[in-house]
Chains A and B, each alone.
Chain A
Amino acid sequence: MARNAVNSEGRVAVHDLVKRFGSVAAVDGVSLDVAAGEFVALLGPSGSGKTTILMAIAGFEYPTSGRVEIGGEDVTWAPANKRNLGMVFQRYTLFPHMSVAENIAFPLKMRGIGRVERERRALAALETVRLAGYGERRTNQLSGGQQQRIALARAIVYQPRVLLMDEPLSALDKNLREEMQLEIKHLQQQLGITVVFVTHDQTEAMTMADRVAVLDLGRLQQVGAPRDLYEAPATPFVAGFIGETNFLPGRAVAAAAAGETLAVDLDGGGRVAAVAVDRLAAGAALRLAVRPERVRLAPSAGGLGGTVVEAIYAGVATTLIAELGGERRVRARIAAGTGERNWSDGEAVDVSWRPEDARAFAAGAAG
């Protein structure tokens, strides 16, 4: 299949998108710019507005306010069939009364392309999704993964500039899902097509996407490369939603600007160092976020002390739960093979971390 030229044709942007259903704001002022040829995943819990945003881009839902642009053109109010997008849905939406080849050729037929050319391109698309020879089958003679590959072939056969996918893999079992993730990713790179991919599975989003847009309650929390999201979450929500995080409430000892290191008095006792994410006034309430694998444990020596209450062995890593005073619990993860000593229940332990591994969010921050 011909490689699409990567130019601004495939750029997708939404500006200040708001969509209300009655009094509920499903999408509440989201702006997102997807570059041509980029793979962006929309990630968020159920009901966070992912599908609604995708539907606004596709033309199946019209925004209450805001704009949608494709290739620099304002398409906010254009009908869905005029947007020249490819779309793959969660359920396999193959037309049951058509053969596999007819399904794939359908968009070409709608574009007035002649039969011979249609067949040629349908066959090529079948090869692209590695299902050559399946053209004459009925759609109900295919497995779930095969059906979704056909749906994919149907969505790319007319070489659209943008491909939209709404949880296309969530109906597949785990192994197949992982295989398809890589396959779609490779196909996207090969075609140079822009992809907006909705998922509620963070691993899937991190595996596939160049950038991930995290949504909660209709608001964009953070957009960034998977590594940035994990290592520098912008909000407590992102910190908690992507990977695992220990949250500890406390107060700033002195004022600090965003990015500065500051001293924190933890509620319930103990003073630790951390990096401020938000601007913090002296004495301001804050939430400290530390990843379990960044927590260090040492035999008790009068630091931030606690007791090991549980050790959970899971092969690749061991998770220890340490109780500090005042009902506070901290999880620490020790990867296998790092030569760390074994801890057992009831042992006294000192908990610490490097200042740059602890992030302090203003307590009012979303999430």
Chain B
Amino acid sequence: MEAEFALKTEVRGDVLIMATSGYVNNDGGQQIASVFEEYHAKGFSRVVMDMKESKVVNSIGISFLIEVIEKLNDNNGKLIFANLAPSIEKTLSIMGLFNYAAKESSVDKALAALA
């Protein structure tokens, strides 16, 4: 069964990497938004969302990513998703998130795209 949501963060230069694991539900989405906000307040505007360890999301959790994108748009920031499972990629695509965020097949490729 899909695990409980957890979030790890890592900073590489001026890029914030947030790595999710488990079910991105309402609580998970809120955690993503509040951790992002912490770093955004410190000036981080380039973000990689590594979703390799998440296989299940729901629309409530993902709607918090729209909040992240909105804040990044305000200061020319950039969000790149990495390691998306096909059904998560499809979910984000239906929601139109790729009009405002990019996707790459690995964190390294996402970092290269931001460099």
A, B bound:
no
Residues of A within 8 A of B (CB): none
